[in-house]
Homo-oligomer: A and B are copies of this chain.
Amino acid sequence: IIVYDEECFQGRRHEFTSECYNVMEFGFETVRSLRVESGAWVGYEHASYQGQQFVLEKGEYPQCDAFSGSNAYHIERMTSFRPIACANHRECRMTIYERENFLGRKGELSDDYPSLQAMGWCNNEVGSLRIQSGAFVCYQYPGYRGYQYIMECDRHCGEYKHFREFGSHCQTPQIQSIRRIQQ
């Protein structure tokens, strides 16, 4: 991943091949544009992998709203980021549960779902989930919009028991679309 401190790939630049805990330690105020050359990454609003999360796949992101997507409030910064080691487009499996602690109705997912309700899911929330293999992104709204929650099989033991574990920015269990992360 190559990050720039100005929009449109201008200004100070730095190339990373592994995680960056705090881009400010490299003289950046924030990341304002970036290119992903290979692999899949997750970026975070704040240092130490805190705040809103952004999945970053191969391609070009010329300004902040290219990678932040649709959010409850406008994101103007990305301060830490790391590779998603277990991303694997072919071997992705997860289970979603209606209620926290893996209770209630459940659904097995191994594909992309721009609308969980169109697939037959019972409502607009997910109470808890388990990632058996690969990595997924869960979104608040249909069509992959809203807050992003990156879920990986090799972090957090692949288990997310309560919506507060979905991410430090998560305030409700509302999840309406889920997709695999392409490597």
Contacts and interface: CB of A to CB of B under 8 A. Distances in A.
Interface of A: 36, 55-61, 65-72, 112-118, 124, 137, 140-146, 176-177, 179, 181-183
B65 A71 contact: yes
B70 A114 contact: no
A116 B59 contact: yes
A72 B36 CA distance: 21
B65 A72 contact: yes
A145 B112 contact: no
- Copies in the assembly, this chain: 2
Contact of A182 (B36, B59, B118): B118
Given A112-B179, A114-B179, A143-B144, A70 B66 contact: yes
A137 B143 CA distance: 10
Given A65-B72, A70-B65, A71-B65, A56 B179 contact: no
Contacts of A70: 65-66, 68-70, 145
Contacts of A59: 115-118, 124, 141-142, 176-177
Given A57-B115, A117-B59, A66 B141 contact: yes
12 contacts: A36-B115, A59-B116, A59-B118, A59-B124, A59-B142, A60-B124, A60-B141, A65-B72, A112-B112, A112-B179, A114-B179, A144-B144
